[in-house]
Every structure is written in structure tokens, then in C-alpha cells.
Amino acid sequence: MKEKTLVIGATGIIGKSVVRRLQTFGLPVRAATRLPIPYAVTHPDLDVVLFDYEDPATYRPTVSGVSKAFIVPRRGDSNPQKTVIPFIEQARQAGVSHIVLVTHFDAERYTPSGLYDLESFLIGSGVMYTILRPNWLMQTFNPGFLWPMIRKTDAIFLPTGSAQTSFVDAEDVAAVATVALTEEGHLDRIYPLTGEEALSYDDVAQIISNAGQRTIKFFPTSDDEFRNTLVKAGWEPQQVEILIDRFALVREGFTAEVNDQVGLLLGRRPGRFLDYAYDHPRIWRTDF
């Protein structure tokens, strides 16, 4: 019998692509979500499980009977020690032998996110691991957390100055995760993942404007201006401070680094921002 793979964040930007990719290999998948009933209706061929990081009672049923797991912390989790670490411990006890964990490109440099401690825990847990550290995702602009701002204001307000970022396509991150879960040679590795070019937020605004045929402008802000915008939008103060610190790393040029890890792992060029933006031009419009 084929081994079953658990996908945490099965409805998320990276996770849903991992589910799709594993299914194309004909592999049994257990998809985890806080809303299993509607998900099961649209995915009748999957084993769907109720999973909530905030509810430890859901951990054991989620990991029971699976041999591998793709794990993504929930967005903005500022304390994975209370959520992802106990979950990984349950997975270890249940006999999960390989975990592919998504952290962040800045995990090592920006330790207050807790992601570096999370990585260290997994590395020391005795479970075989593959850690993916993606740079900022292209999908951050849509459907990610910047989309409501862009949609509402036709603008991107960020405290990044003119710094560049080598945005990576979530599809590439999912493809790498699938390779790690299905091919040999990826155990106990850490892969920092970038796109093949570094772009400024001004570059991105121009590409999106052209792709969506609407004008979207980038305005560099101060940290305080950014903080006020997010607080007014209802963000939790702790999450706001984490984002501000992360964008300080962007401003300092740290996220402009480009590596060839995606190409080496997938045997093809990484997705380009231009293609992501032009492949689905309607996503940038609000009149459809």
C-alpha cells in the first residue's frame, strides 16, 4: 500500500498546489483544514481532516496513519513554539518519518519570528526533514496579504524604500516540496528558495499595472506610517511589528539575493514575476 502524505495548509497558497501535485502522482493525500466539510465537498477523492493549530485535540487524529507530512505554519504565527512544535512532536510520536517544513528566507537572520527555533526543533527531533526557506512569494500581491490594499487603494504602501526582492513563485515552492516528498536525496536538507531576478516594489507595481491594465503605484512609507495603516486595518500589534522588522531586512537589501536552488531542484528556470502577473491578468482587476 502506498504511504499517505499529510498536507497542512491544504487550502493555502503553497499547500493547495502541493495537494494537486501529489494527486497527479497518484499518491494518497490527507488534506488538513479548519473547514473540512466544504473542502471535502469540492475534493471528494481526498481524505480530509479537521485541523486547527489552536486546538491541540485535533493534532493526533491529523497525524495518525500518515508517514510523511508537508507542514506550513499559519500566516503571522508569532509563537510557533506553542503550535507547530507541539504538532511536530505529535507527528514524531505517531511515527511520521519525513517532514517537509516551510519557514521563511529570513528564518535564520530574523529570530523573533520563532521560525529558526522551529527549524532547530525539527532538526533535533529525530524525524527526517527537508526545510524550505522561500523568499517573499509573488502571490503576496494576490491573493496574499497585499491584495486588499492594492484592490482598495490602487497602491502598494510599504516601508521598503527602493530595495529589491527576488520574489519566488509559490508554484515553484510547491514543486520543490513535492520533489522532496517523492524523490530521494532531500533528507536532512535546508533549501533557501528565490526567484531568478530581484525586483523593486516599484518594478512590481509597473508590471501589475501593465498586466491588469490599471494604474497601481508604489509609495515607500516610514515604519510609523506602515504601522498606522495596518493597525487601522485591524492587524494584531505583534504581527505588525514582525512585518515591520521583516521589511527592514528588505530595505537593507537582504532579500535581493538570488540563488539557483529552484533551478537545481526542478531542472528548469524558476517562474518569472512577469509570467505570474500576465498569466491571469483578470486577478488584478476589480471590475470582473
Ligand X SMILES: NC(=O)c1ccc[n+]([C@@H]2O[C@H](COP(=O)([O-])OP(=O)(O)OC[C@H]3O[C@@H](n4cnc5c(N)ncnc54)[C@H](OP(=O)(O)O)[C@@H]3O)[C@@H](O)[C@H]2O)c1
List of residues contacting ligand X (CB under 6 A): 9, 11-15, 33-35, 51-54, 72-75, 102, 104, 134, 136-137, 140, 144
Nearest residue to 258 (alpha-carbon basis) of 171, 176, 182, 199: 199
Using the minimum distance from each CB to ligand X, give the nearer residue, 15 or 220. Answer: 15
Query: Distance from CA of residue 199 to its chain's centroid?
Result: 19
Nearest approach in angstroms of CB 9 to ligand X is 4
Nearest residue to 105 (alpha-carbon basis) of 137, 135, 75: 135
Using the minimum distance from each CB to ligand X, give the nearer residue, 1 or 37. Answer: 37
Nearest approach in angstroms of CB 82 to ligand X is 11
Nearest approach in angstroms of CB 253 to ligand X is 17
Nearest approach in angstroms of CB 124 to ligand X is 20
Would you tell me how many other CB atoms lie within 10 Å of the CB of residue 35?
A: 11
Nearest approach in angstroms of CB 70 to ligand X is 11
Q: Is 49 in contact with 31 (CB distance < 8 Å)?
A: yes
Using the minimum distance from each CB to ligand X, give the nearer residue, 54 or 260. Answer: 54
Nearest approach in angstroms of CB 184 to ligand X is 25
**Chain residue at closest Cβ approach to ligand X:** 12
Using the minimum distance from each CB to ligand X, give the nearer residue, 33 or 160. Answer: 33
Using the minimum distance from each CB to ligand X, give the nearer residue, 166 or 211. Answer: 166
Q: Dihedral (C-alpha) 98, 103, 106, 107: value to the nearest 10 degrees?
A: -60
Using the minimum distance from each CB to ligand X, give the nearer residue, 52 or 154. Answer: 52
Cell numbers found for residue 214: 490599471
Q: Is 141 in contact with 212 (CB distance < 8 Å)?
A: no
Nearest residue to 64 (alpha-carbon basis) of 79, 53, 49: 49
Cα–Cα distance, 92 to 94 (Å, whole number): 5
Using DSSP bridges, classify how beta strands 128-134 and 98-102 pair: parallel, antiparallel or unpaired.
Answer: parallel
